[in-house]
Structure 1
Amino acid sequence: MIDFRYHLVSIVAIFLALAVGIVLGTNLLQDPAIKTANEMTSQLTRANEDLRGRLETMQAREQDHQEFVTTLTPQLVAESLAGEQVLIVEAPGAGTTYREATEQVLVQAGAEVTGRLLLLDKFFDPKSAGVLDGLVNQLKPAEMAFADTATVHDKAATLLAATLMTTDQTLAGTPNETLAAVVDGLQTGGFIDIDGDALNRATLSVLYAPDAPYEGDNAESQAAAFTSVAGALDAAGKGAVVTGAAATSAAPGGAITALRDDSEIVKRVSSVDSADMPEGQVVIVYALREQMNGGAGQYGTGAGAAAFQPVPPTPAPSPSSTESGS
């Protein structure tokens, strides 16, 4: 019969064996394990330092690159938009950093910025569509007719465009007295706002997309509303360009993506998804110039861009070169 002493001796033997195994295992593995860990730590440290050095080099090169382009910008855009009036339009969530830089480039190109139109959240809210529709019908001239298929935002965009845009150079830079109540009415209704004084008529427009893609149940209708505004401003003036950053506005759900996916609007309205780059701000000017000449294109680095910039126009031959070649 196995007694208590046998059990006790067995248990002590088991724990003694475990203790001996732990001691032996620790002594055998300690040095190799520590050595391996130290080597891995050294490798990771060196790799991290190498990556940090590369990043700093790339950042320095990018800074030099941006300074170089910024310095050359006045020459690159000189007189490209001489005498033109440009309306700036901002969707909710559009950034201000590159918008301010682009405004400066537009001025360097010879254009005058007539003002900023801010499209507010309420303009895109489906719950406010009925109120917007009623306000548009109340404010529009009696002779203005909308297509049977026009959405609420198509109608509102058409009315705004008729108020703020023109193709007549003699009217550019002057207020539209016949539709003076339109901006006031939509502003009072909380659908739009303006930066500064009442807006004068422009010949061209630049629309800034939100810095984040549209999301949620209303994403598609919001993107369509923004596209409607771009199309209407383009039709009522000499051209329109939608701009933003490739990582956001040209991503799935982005406003530029919605424009490029619209088979009809994309034929008329241009887009530039590199507004956050100095060279992209130059491309905006080139895209506006192309619009004035009756063309349109999708430019930048994001999905759907056909090229980084429009094909530069071929300069007309000078009289001297014509004579020498004849």
Structure 2
Amino acid sequence: MIDFRYHLVSLISVFLALAIGIILGAGPLQGALGDQLTDQVGTLRAERNALRDELNQAEATATEQRRFIDAAGDQLVAGALTDKRVAVVDVDGAGDGVTGPLVEQLEAAGATIVAQEALTESWTAADEATMRDTVAGGLREGLADGLEEGTIGDETGTSAVLGAALTLALTDADPVDPALRSTEAADLQQQLERFGLVDVEMAPEAPADAILLVSGGETGAQGESPDDVDPAEWGVGSLVGLAGMAGDITGATVVAGPTTADGDLVSEVRADDDVVSVVSTVSGTEQLTGRVVVPLAVAAQLGGTVDQYGFEEGATVLPAKPEEQDAQSDDASADGQETTGDEQ
């Protein structure tokens, strides 16, 4: 049994320690602790003020850069797409808030927008895969006959077949009058609308020279892939198939979307070696800098240059000027001739 004296000793020890702490705090240590705390507060205040000044300067610089780009944007793109016809397709519900500014940049570059459409959820929904397979099955033979041999075969996936149908609906010209759409293009457009795969904001008026596929960046959030549906045939996978086929057929297809995130359309296109070889991408379209690049990327594709534009690692910030592209093409041709000569 613990004696009361032990409790008394413990209480005395506690009060003694408290008294010593008070004496030291009010005496010898008071000045040192106070000086240290004052110095630390002063240092923190100076750092805070410096950071605030840096932030204000950065914001001011960013504002001035936006003003410059806004003022110079029209001059940068002016004439890049003169006499060129472009079809714009919203692939994942990006909406007019995203597509509208891009259309403005295309028009500022001199392009004529000849069609503006949006894919419906039926194009990407996993539970609509059977319907898409049926539609693609009915279109496959006719599309294969109308395209270069080998473009579409028995093993071609549904997303690629539907991509070919949409591409031809937007770009196929009348063989007699190239300024008009072909009968086949009109028929394919009607079928895509009838099966609820596309919504039309601006019906195709003439065959497009290039296609701009616009993403809002949400295509990666598709949930888990159903076991009975190929990942390449629903969600973002089906859009990659569309982009690849459009690039194969037109030679001038650009995918534009916001700053990249895992699983979004721009990232998935860039990750596919076959698609990225025929399709250009532009990221950062939520910023004016990205939107200005879009018409330049389309113009570069029409000139035969495929590239990936943005500020991510490995991407190109800005397309080369037409004369620089020509010089690069000449250099590549010269290198090819030299290599051929060496091999001979």
Structure 1 length normalisation: TM-score?
Answer: 0.79
3-state secondary structure, aligned to 1:143: helix
How do 1:167-178 and structure 2 match up within 5 A? 170-172=177-179, 174=180, 176-178=182-184
Q: Which runs of 5+ in 1 are unaligned?
A: 317-326
Q: Could you tell me which residue of structure 2 aligns to residue 323 of structure 1?
A: none
CA-based RMSD: 3.3
How do 1:67-146 and structure 2 match up within 5 A? 67-92=67-92, 94=94, 96-97=96-97, 99-138=99-138, 140=139, 143-145=142-144, 146=152
- AA aligned to 1:310 is P
Distance in 1 (alpha carbons) for counterparts of 2:47 and 2:103: 43
The answer as to whether partners of 2:173 and 2:207 remain within 8 angstroms in 1 is: no
- AA aligned to 1:242 is V
**One of 159, 164, 177 as aligned partner of 2:165:** 159
Distance in 2 (alpha carbons) for counterparts of 1:171 and 1:233: 19
**One of 220, 224, 232 as aligned partner of 1:217:** 224
Q: Could you tell me which residue of structure 2 aligns to residue 320 of structure 1?
A: none
Q: Could you tell me which residue of structure 2 aligns to residue 236 of structure 1?
A: 249
Distance in 1 (alpha carbons) for counterparts of 2:76 and 2:262: 32
3-state secondary structure, aligned to 1:210: coil
- AA aligned to 1:57 is Q
Measure how far apart 1:232 and its partner are.
2.3
Alignment of 1:55 with 2:68, yes or no, is no
Deviations 1:190-209 (A, max 9, x none): 43322244565321111123
Alignment of 1:314 with 2:313, yes or no, is no
Q: Could you tell me which residue of structure 2 aligns to residue 271 of structure 1?
A: 281
Q: Could you tell me which residue of structure 2 aligns to residue 289 of structure 1?
A: 299
Deviations 1:299-326 (A, max 9, x none): 2211331x2222212289xxxxxxxxxx
3-state secondary structure, aligned to 1:118: strand
3-state secondary structure, aligned to 1:17: helix
The answer as to whether partners of 2:117 and 2:203 remain within 8 angstroms in 1 is: no
The answer as to whether partners of 1:166 and 1:238 remain within 8 angstroms in 2 is: no
Q: Could you tell me which residue of structure 1 aligns to residue 207 of structure 2?
A: 201
Measure how far apart 1:111 and its partner are.
0.8
- AA aligned to 1:135 is V
Measure how far apart 1:256 and its partner are.
1.7
Q: Could you tell me which residue of structure 1 aligns to residue 335 of structure 2?
A: none
* Structure-2 change in CA distance of 1:78 and 1:9 (3 Å): closer
- AA aligned to 1:311 is A
3-state secondary structure, aligned to 1:135: helix
* Structure-2 change in CA distance of 1:206 and 1:101 (3 Å): same
* Structure-2 change in CA distance of 1:259 and 1:8 (3 Å): closer
Measure how far apart 1:79 and its partner are.
2.2
3-state secondary structure, aligned to 2:143: coil
- AA aligned to 2:224 is D
Alignment of 1:20 with 2:49, yes or no, is no
Distance in 1 (alpha carbons) for counterparts of 2:70 and 2:14: 76
The answer as to whether partners of 1:287 and 1:310 remain within 8 angstroms in 2 is: yes
> Whose helix fraction is larger, Structure 1's or Structure 2's?
2
Distance in 2 (alpha carbons) for counterparts of 1:45 and 1:213: 45
The answer as to whether partners of 2:174 and 2:183 remain within 8 angstroms in 1 is: no
* Structure-2 change in CA distance of 1:308 and 1:13 (3 Å): closer
Distance in 2 (alpha carbons) for counterparts of 1:86 and 1:152: 25
Distance in 2 (alpha carbons) for counterparts of 1:200 and 1:177: 12
Distance in 1 (alpha carbons) for counterparts of 2:92 and 2:163: 16
- AA aligned to 1:132 is R
3-state secondary structure, aligned to 1:144: helix
- AA aligned to 2:134 is G
Distance in 1 (alpha carbons) for counterparts of 2:321 and 2:189: 37
* Structure-2 change in CA distance of 1:310 and 1:256 (3 Å): same
Q: Which runs of 5+ in 2 are unaligned?
A: 145-151, 327-344
> Number of residue pairs matched?
309
- AA aligned to 1:124 is T
Distance in 2 (alpha carbons) for counterparts of 1:264 and 1:11: 80
Alignment of 1:300 with 2:310, yes or no, is yes
Distance in 1 (alpha carbons) for counterparts of 2:127 and 2:268: 22
- AA aligned to 2:131 is V
